[in-house]
Structure 1
Amino acid sequence: MTDEPNEIDGDLYEHHHIVVDAGQDLLRIDKFLMDRLPNVTRNKVQAGIKDGFVKVNGAEVKPNYKVHPMDEISVMLPEPPRDEELVPEDIPLDIVLEDDHLLIVNKPAGMVVHPAYQNWSGTLVNALAFHFQNLPEMKGNDGRPGLVHRIDKDTSGLLVIAKTERAMNGLAKQFFDHSIERTYYALVWGVPEEPSGTVYVNVGRSLKDRRVTMAFPDGDFGKHAVTHFELIEDLRYVSLLKCNLETGRTHQIRAHMRWIGHPLFNDTTYGGSEIVKGTVFTKYKQFVQNCFKMMPRQALHAKTLGFIHPVTKKKIFADSELPEDFSSVLEKWRHYIDHTD
């Protein structure tokens, strides 16, 4: 795929040029483009096709056109594409561990990991580009130097960054093999019936809203996903869980916790920003709303990270404290439970 801004067809500019893989199955072009283009809805893709902004082999097509192997698809829009050159920004980094090959950073909630639609600046990658030069890029991950994994914008916690090609290759293999040890702390609604358990449920993009990850218990859609959880603290209406990822799918913990009936506290996307458990009393509702204000994000923190150093072969383990918003809300719940019947 290329993103070269070429003025063509009058005042149209080419934003994407895609050559379909030789092994591609026949697939409707609107579905194909939804998978290939970032941050677009099916309605937006279909509207672009109907407006003549999408051409296959130089000709306009209908939304139900099925792409064929080696088709050349051009997506053209009236405005020039955005210059996606990475801009280094002097943003402080909370570095937990660093050597010549890698570093581990503690990402604050609210920081996007890499530049993307509506978040072109202020990201972790913008900060990395300022503090480090010539970070490697993983194949297929252009424009995201150093990254081998990521966490959501409003999730806080630990990320490992590769500083050399050797480190990137070694870390990428461990993520592929699911041998990286990742522990998250999650404040969830309710208390699981069993103090520990494992969720084996496929997850994938919702068929209705591609911004949301859904659980597919029948295994007919999505990808294999496994989350192990353990109860750390029972706070009657909410509980603190330790979650270990065996796989690392997008929004995996958030989708899995919702599936088992314990959405993350104040997770607006997955039903946790409503009062899921508790009383009907006004005083309780006000207490919960105050907690939401203290922590205006999902209560999820990537607490520990463990792996084999790709160069020294020594075991690396990093731990992090819960951020202030998380620990304050946790303490507020403890106080509430201790002082109510």
Structure 2
Amino acid sequence: MAEKIISNKNNLQILFEDNHIIVVNKRAGDIVQGDKTGDKPLSNVVKSYIKDTYKKPGNVYLGTVHRLDRPTTGLVIFAKTSKALPRLNKLFLSKDIKKTYWAIVKNQPPKKEDTLLHWLKKNPKNNKSYTSLNEVEGSKKGILHYQVLKQLNNYFLLEVNLETGRHHQIRSQLSSIGCPIKGDLKYGFDRSNSDASIHLHARTIEFMHPVKNELVKITAPLPKDPVWDACSL
């Protein structure tokens, strides 16, 4: 799987950039947009990069297209122009952007590959989503497809493709089949990772460029740690 880093400035790993789009490889702990913590969001880091690199005066335009959970790593797309943002938003809404995740889980899944369908309901008080096999009030349907790519010494590497994009969907659904993601205390793993990450990585993304109408496919390098290092195929 091709992995290309075109820039790595100030801990900002850029995987793709043109006049309309910039795609970065998010680190664990980074937040995509500002929240109540007051921590500097990734969007501001990207704006600073654009401003400094291209010597732009005044404010820099940047549109946030989607998000990743704070402890998750991998691909995040930003729009650099007001022309690209609504078109990218439309691609996400129409599910014309293919996203593939890699997850390292504690236990062997019941099947080598399967489709999971649950109803997910978010509890804002603890910022957690709960799964049910039947629809309950306030729940939303969540569908994902997984396959086991590799058995590691103590874990299993899964590839996950989302059909829907719900709050904590991969974390909650994998936990519901007895396969919590490594480091994910919130969803049943028995201990946290030392850097507060979880082993969930937005690995590849594929879409038609919203302005140039060319196919774009990007693969995000894996984080550096011994467990991820064992995942080479």
TM-score, with structure 2 as normaliser: 0.84
Q: CA deviation at 1:329?
A: 2.0
State the Cα deviation string for residues 1-27 of structure 1 (Å, max 9, x = none). xxxxxxxxxxxxxxxxxxxxxxxxxxx
Higher helix residue share: 1
Q: CA deviation at 1:122?
A: 2.4
Measured in 1, the distance between the counterparts of 2:224 and 2:11 equals 18
Partner of 1:242: 159
Q: CA deviation at 1:297?
A: 2.2
TM-score, with structure 1 as normaliser: 0.59
Measured in 2, the distance between the counterparts of 1:213 and 1:107 equals 23
Q: CA deviation at 1:182?
A: 0.7
Matching of residues 160-199 of structure 1 within 5 Å: 160-199=77-116
Unaligned stretches of 5+ in structure 1? 1-89, 136-144, 275-288, 335-341
Higher strand residue share: 2
Q: How many residue pairs end up in the alignment?
A: 215
State the Cα deviation string for residues 179-214 of structure 1 (Å, max 9, x = none). 21111110001111211111111222138x441111
The answer on 1:218 being equivalent to 2:218 is no
Q: CA deviation at 1:332?
A: 6.9
8 A contact 2:28–2:196 mirrored in 1: no
Measured in 1, the distance between the counterparts of 2:19 and 2:190 equals 42
Unaligned stretches of 5+ in structure 2? 1-8, 51-58
Matching of residues 115-126 of structure 1 within 5 Å: 115-118=34-37, 120-126=38-44
Q: CA deviation at 1:216?
A: 2.6
Task: Provide the secondary structure at the position in 1 that maps to 2:45.
Answer: helix
The answer on 1:314 being equivalent to 2:205 is no
Measured in 2, the distance between the counterparts of 1:113 and 1:128 equals 10
The answer on 1:134 being equivalent to 2:60 is yes
Rg bigger for which structure? Answer: 1
Q: CA deviation at 1:236?
A: 6.4
Task: Work out the percentage of aligned pairs sharing the same amino acid.
Answer: 32
Matching of residues 239-318 of structure 1 within 5 Å: 239-274=156-191, 292-293=193-194, 296-318=196-218
Task: Provide the secondary structure at the position in 2 that maps to 1:224.
Answer: strand
Query: Hey, which bits of structure 1, 4+ residues long, moved more than 3 A?
Result: 330-334
Greater relative contact order: 1 or 2 (C-alpha under 8 angstroms, separation 6 or more)? 2
8 A contact 1:92–1:127 mirrored in 2: no
CA-based RMSD:
2.3
